[in-house]
């Protein structure tokens, strides 16, 4: 794997890191360069300000780690009925036509069938509280996706997936949610 560039690393970090670096470059240039050349030295900080602006735009509406933890805790406290109702509401708000599968088909791997713009997605979420998720529920989801002729599959969980399950999800183009 190739090493990351400084700018790639800064894009993944808080935006203000780039501003601090730009400020440090400007301060060093102002302190060490002849006064008539300081403006040229300070221009070296400009790329860091651009990176800061890009990172700020990306991070603007991103929830904090504390907010994510609080929401995960809240969702873990919901019953299946409450959790599935909330999921269904969010899908409807996104413009999907939602059909519940769990109540209609006992032993169904998927819980929802979503339709939007001619595309069909199956969503499995019933094991959302499990601490670790393995390959088996993903295999069942893929089988149901194929049986229903769906275009996409989404697996919603609050816990982590095993490394094998993550590889399987990537191979089968299953989107892992939450």
Residues 6+ apart with CB under 8 A from 98: 88, 91, 92, 112, 113, 114
pLDDT in 10s for each residue of the chain, 178 residues: 456 788 888 988 999 999 999 999 999 999 999 999 999 999 999 999 999 999 999 889 888 888 888 988 898 899 889 999 999 999 999 999 999 986 544 467 899 999 999 999 999 987 777 788 889 999 999 999 999 999 999 999 888 889 999 999 999 999 998 7
Predicted pLDDT at 104: 47
Please state, in angstroms and rounded to a whole number, the distance separating the CA atoms of residues 42 and 48: 11
List residues bridging with 115 in a β-sheet. 97, 120
- β-strand 174-177 against 132-133: which pairing, if any? unpaired
Predicted pLDDT at 132: 86
Predicted pLDDT at 15: 93
- Give the three-state DSSP class for 24: helix
List residues bridging with 120 in a β-sheet. 115
Question: pTM of the prediction?
Answer: 0.67
Element of type H or E holding 137: helix 136-148
């Amino acid at each position: 794997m190739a090493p990351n560039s400084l700018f790639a690393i800064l894009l993944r970090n808080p935006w203000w890191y780039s501003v601090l670096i730009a400020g440090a470059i400007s301060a060093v240039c102002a302190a060490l360069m002849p006064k008539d050349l300081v403006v040229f030295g300070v221009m070296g900080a400009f790329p860091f300000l651009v990176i800061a602006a890009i990172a700020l735009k990306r991070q603007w509406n991103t929830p904090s780690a504390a907010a994510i933890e609080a929401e995960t805790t809240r969702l873990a406290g919901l019953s299946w009925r409450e959790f599935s109702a909330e999921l269904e509401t969010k899908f409807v708000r996104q413009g999907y036509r939602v059909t519940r599968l769990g109540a209609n088909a006992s032993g169904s791997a998927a819980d929802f069938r979503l339709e939007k713009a001619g595309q069909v997605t199956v969503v499995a979420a019933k094991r959302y509280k499990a601490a670790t998720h393995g390959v088996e529920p993903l295999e069942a989801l893929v089988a149901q996706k194929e049986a229903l002729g769906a275009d996409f599959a989404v697996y919603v969980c609050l816990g982590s997936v095993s490394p094998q399950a993550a590889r399987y999800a990537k191979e089968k183009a299953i989107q892992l949610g939450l």
